[in-house]
Amino acid sequence: MSGDTGYDSHQHSRVCSLGGMDYTQLGRSGLSVSRLCLGTMNFGPETSEADSHAIMDRAHEHGINFFDTANVYGWRKGEGITEQIVGRWFASGGGRRERTVLATKLYGSMGDWPNETRLSALNIRRACEGSLRRLQTDYIDLYQMHHVDRATPWEEIWEAMSVLRYQGKIIYVGSSNFAGWHLVAAQEAARRRHLTGLVSEQSIYNLLTRWVELEVLPAARDYGIGLIPWSPLQGGLLGGVLRKQREGSGSRSTTGRSEELKANRERIELYEKLCADLGEDPANVGLAWLLHQRGVTAPIVGPRTAAQLDSSLGAVAITLDADVLARLDELFPAPAPHGAKPAPEAYAW
């Protein structure tokens, strides 16, 4: 399980002619996924079903084969609105399901009764069956735990996941919002059962939020767990927010982040100037920076429109040289007094 110290997903990257998209393997698995992952959280609450279907079609046109959702998305408890939208898109045929690496998540509450949340064996079974019905498919490519469950032993979790895998209902297992030591605990428990364990971890990761570099990312690299960054633009703050304000085209995604913007305004201004000097959109530079980080599989982009999806494709083609990467580190330093180093060197000798 371990012993793969210094695992580098970039060594498996390859270019495909499908929309010019790059692909890599998900962690140490043999599964090929696009370097951008389509996030569906806006489908339903922000984006109509018709527009959501158009975005997914456009993603396939661009060669994006990796889609991420969750049973709680749609934010009406127990309904799984977003999964239903994705499921009806699959049901429209045309090879949509077959071309998609489908990732969904469980943990969040799907009802008011006990055992309708978290990671008990009972809820894992029920949640999977519910997602399969809503998604109108008979298998999930990547079944992710949306959060760590401190109350359920790993032996129970892995037994339940193994049953689903043996039944053909899931293929790979991933995590989300785990600490570094949670990844270790999960993998060592899987090792004891001679299981593959986790192949991916979803964490918040962007230039403004680099905490995963201390322990999560090093642990993921060592175990061959592919990192899937969510909120890669910190809710729009790295997507050209100041330029959009000047143009009067501010995004709703930055609503509620006024204090964070105020605290970071000076360096965001310098960041946007650097991007302008490069001739690149700030959002694409933010995504490209993540794609340059060893161990990152695919940042999640969550467009509300097809045009937003189109604009993000440029990130894959951007190469940031050493000088630009160093400048970004100056503007957005790693969260440690000793610079961009993993723990314990980040805070100790």
Q: Which residues are catalytic?
A: 73
Contact 307, 238 (CB under 8 A): no
227: Cα separation from own chain's centroid: 7
By the 10 Å C-beta count (0-12 exposed, 13-18 middle, 19+ buried), 76 is classed as: exposed
CA distance 325 to 329: 6
Residue 57 CB partners (closer than 8 Å, separation 6+): none
The amino acid occupying position 224 is: G
Tokens of 209: 């939020």
Contact 183, 175 (CB under 8 A): yes
Task: Give the N- to C-terminal CA distance of the chain in Å, as an integer.
Answer: 29
